[in-house]
Amino acid sequence: MSAGTGIQHAEYNLEDADTTLFQIWIMPNGKGLKPNWETRTLPGVGEQGRLIPLASGQGLPDTMPINQDATLYVAHLSESGKIEHTLAPGRKAYLVGFEGAVAVNGQELNARDGLAVEDLDLLTLEARGSGSLLLADLPG
């Protein structure tokens, strides 16, 4: 969803089971943008061991577009799984755990924990058991 010049919305869970919802706000790269929203089936559901791009303003294929030089990834790691992600010079990252536990450069990230990262060029994500997280690769 892009709020752009303004929106009204309400969120409802129409499913029979509980829903976990994340609201992550990324500042847009401009003002006066047209509001929009999109829904789609997330890629790589059930896939493990890699970062899967979900939304991007960096021109990545098969992602939902956002108005920022940023990419939002999801990762699912099996027991003892490990992924590395390189941050380009001057970039930052924000990570949110949503299942299990994952260590980020040795710092444990549990479900619902958030971690802001700056001044690092390599992120090493290691499962503690198994775990899943969102990673936002952001401009500096």
* Superfamily of chain region 1-140: Jelly Rolls (2.60.120.10)
pLDDT tens for each residue of 39-87 = 878 777 678 899 999 999 999 998 999 999 999 999 999 998 999 999 9
Give tens-digit pLDDT for 83-100.
999 999 999 999 999 999
Report pTM: 0.90
pLDDT in tens, 10-37: 888 888 999 877 788 899 999 999 988 8
Q: Helix, strand, or coil here: 85?
A: strand
Q: Which of 89, 121, 124 is nearest to 109 (CA)?
A: 124
Q: What's the N-to-C CA distance of the chain in angstroms?
A: 22
Give the pLDDT of residue 7: 81
Cβ-based burial of 108 (10 A; exposed 0-12, middle 13-18, buried ≥19): middle
Domain boundaries defined on the chain:
1-140
Q: What is the CA radius of gyration of the chain?
A: 16
